[in-house]
Every structure is written in C-alpha cells, then in structure tokens.
Amino acid sequence: MPEWPSQYHPPPVAIHRAGHGDTGTPHHPWLQHHFDNMAQQAEASTLGMWVFLVTEIMFFGGLFMAYIVYRHQSPEGFQEASSELNRVWGTINTLVLICSSLTMALAVRAAQTSKSAKAQVGWLLGTIVFGLAFLGIKAIEYYDKFTHNHVPGPHFHWEGHFPKPAEQFYSLYFAMTGLHALHMIVGVGIMTVIAVLAWKKNFDEEYYTPVEVAGLYWHFVDIVWIFLFPLLYLIGGHFKGA
Amino acid sequence: MSGHVAPKMMYVMVWLALVIGTGLTVLAAEVDLGAFNNVAMLAIACTKAALVILFFMHVRWSSRLTWLVVASGFFWLIIMFSLTMTDYYSRGWVPGTLR
C-alpha cells in the first residue's frame, strides 16, 4: 500500500489531534478548534470578507451600470445636472474619506504590532470622527438639494435645458450616495464595536483579524466614493451650457 | 500569526498619493479635454482604487486565492458593463430594429 501523501492531505487523525488543541500544545485562546493555526484562521476570515466585498462590488455595480446607461442616453443633460453639485464639499469629503482610510490602516497596524489599547482605540476613534464628518457634510449637501427642489419627485424643479435627464441624474445621485452613506453609517457602527473590543485588550500581533476585516470593509466604502466623486461631481466642471 | 507589517511611512506615502490624485482629478475636470476628460478621470480613479486595494487592504501581501477572488469581482463587473453597453451602443445599427 502506498504511503499517505502527507504533503497534500495530512492523515485524518492528525487533523483531529491538531484541531482540538488538547494534545498538550499550547495555543492562542482565540484559536477556534476547527482551524489548524492562527494564520489559517485569519486567512479564512479575510477570504470570507473578500467574497462578501465581491457581492458588494456587484451591488454597487448595478447602480453604476444604470448611471452608464442613462448618461449614455443624455450626456449633456448629465453634465448640466452635475454642474449644480457643490464641488468644494465633494472635494473636501473625498479628502476626509482618504484621511479616514489612513487612520484605519494605522489602526490595523497598531493592533498588528501589539501597540497599546490606547493607540489602537485612538486610530479607530480618528476613523469614526472622519466618518462622521463625511456624513455631516453629506447632510449639508442633501439639505441644500431639498431647499433647491433638486430632489426627484413631484416637487422636482429644474431651471436648465434638460429637466428630464437632470431628474434621472439626481435619482441616481441620491440612490448611489444614499447607499454609500448607509454603508458609512454601518461602518461607523462596526468601528465603535471594534474600538470597544480594542479597549478591552482583545487584539495583539497574534490575533487582530476583526480589526483587519473591519478595515477591509471601510476601505471598500472609500473605493466606492473614489468612483462616485468624479462621476457625480466632476463631469459638469467644464460645462458651458447647451 | 504572520501578517505583513508595512512601515508607517508607506501608509503616509500612499495617503499622499491619494491626496495628489484627488487634486489632479479636480484640476483635470476644470479643463475641457473632450472625451479625454472621462479617460483621465477614470484612469486617476482606477489608480487610486488600486493603491487602496494593494496597500491599505494588504492585497499586495495576500494569498493567491485572495488575489483571485478580488480580480474575479472586477472581472464580472466589467463583463456586466461591456455586455450591457454592447447592446445599447449597437441599437439601431440595423434599420427597423429597436432603438
């Protein structure tokens, strides 16, 4: 009988013994019994998060698809509608999100290098503050759109040449930035939970997967905005009227 | 566990590149470059997204399997965009068909 090809499949008994950690080998308290080691456990979580993010890509992708189709049908109408958005607020918000991504990356790094709970929580709080600043600015912009009757519906009013495409543009604007803002609100909630866990000294260089995975989510939401910003705010920059 | 620890300075440099990219895209939008406006805007956005994915999201140091999952997400997105737009662009090419 040929020997068991151990480099591919360890014998079943070994899986059982290594998995339960009661074989005399000390292991990290956060290692779940169905994983061989911390690295495998972390890899499984990160991969799972990425699979979720792929579904998110397609989720937002549907809205981007709608944007492409409607803009293709009325390029000038979209340019005119976009020129009414406040580019200063949009640019500031883009920078705010980029800063929040930096603090997020540094929060993960602080956990990864077993920095003090204070340092970890500090970077996470920074991320939360930037996130809230983004939402605050978004609220100012939404308020402005309501007072100018630029919200699609029975009270939508457009002074330009392309009222119909403008209403389509603003429908997409509210759907896309609204879904994005919802993700930001969820993100702030997640960061609060992670910050509490970090404060209770849950994370060190052996186990920081929750910080890492929450970071992946946060950066993804940042990436969505990286595309939303030019496509919504900047296409009317050089618009000179029809 | 051995996740790759990147130097703090690298994160700051990526942040700086993202800020510069934002500045460039705002400046480029002020100038009328015709169809090239869209090309420039999307090229900058894709570069910024790539920086975030590779460095902030640690994909540069991730396993091949993670690379595959990330790439497949964008691959399917591009399939959706290109097949749908193939339809919209080609409508009306044949006289008497749906416009």
Delineate the domains of chain A, giving CATH numbers in brackets.
Answer: 51-234 (1.20.120.80)
Query: What's this model's pTM, rounded to 2 decimal places?
Result: 0.89
B70, pLDDT greater than 90: yes
Q: What is the pLDDT at residue A21?
A: 47
Question: Which contacts (CB < 8 Å, 24+ apart) does range A148-151 have?
Answer: A148/A84, A150/A84
A27-61, pLDDT tens digit by residue?
Answer: 788 888 889 988 899 999 999 999 999 999 999 99
pLDDT band (50, 70, 90) for residue B94: confident
Q: How far is B96 from chain A (nearest CA, A)?
A: 19
**Which residue's entry shows tokens 């496509």?**
A231
* CB of A230 closer than 8 Å to CB of B42: yes
Pick from A38, A64, A238, A239 the residue to mutate for testing the B interface (most B CBs within 10 Å): A238
Task: Identify the residue with better confidence: A237 or B73.
Answer: B73
Q: How far is A152 from chain B (nearest CA, A)?
A: 25
User: Which residues of chain B does A88 touch, with a Cβ-Cβ cutoff of 8 Å?
Assistant: none
Question: What is the Cα–Cα distance from A106 to A109, expressed in whole angstroms?
Answer: 5
User: Which residues of chain B does A110 touch, with a Cβ-Cβ cutoff of 8 Å?
Assistant: none
* CB of A117 closer than 8 Å to CB of A201: yes
A110-165, pLDDT tens digit by residue?
Answer: 999 988 999 999 999 999 999 999 999 999 999 999 999 999 999 999 999 999 99
Nearest CA in chain A to B13: A102
CB-CB under 8 Å, B11 with A102: yes
Nearest CA in chain A to B23: A91
Nearest CA in chain A to B31: A238
| Residue A241: exposure state from Cβ atoms within 10 A (0-12, 13-18, ≥19) | exposed
Q: What is the pLDDT at residue A240?
A: 60
Q: Please give the distance of CA B7 from its chain centroid, rounded to a whole number.
A: 25
Give the number of other Cβ atoms within 10 Å of residue B49's Cβ. Answer: 20
| Residue A101: exposure state from Cβ atoms within 10 A (0-12, 13-18, ≥19) | buried
A235, pLDDT greater than 60: yes
* CB of A228 closer than 8 Å to CB of A176: yes
**Which residue's entry shows tokens 């040449």?**
A161
Mean pLDDT score, A59-87: 96
pLDDT band (50, 70, 90) for residue A26: confident
Amino acid in position B90: S
Radius of gyration of chain A (CA): 24
Q: What is the pLDDT at residue A18?
A: 47
B4-63, pLDDT tens digit by residue?
Answer: 899 999 999 999 999 999 999 999 998 888 889 999 999 999 999 999 999 999 999 999
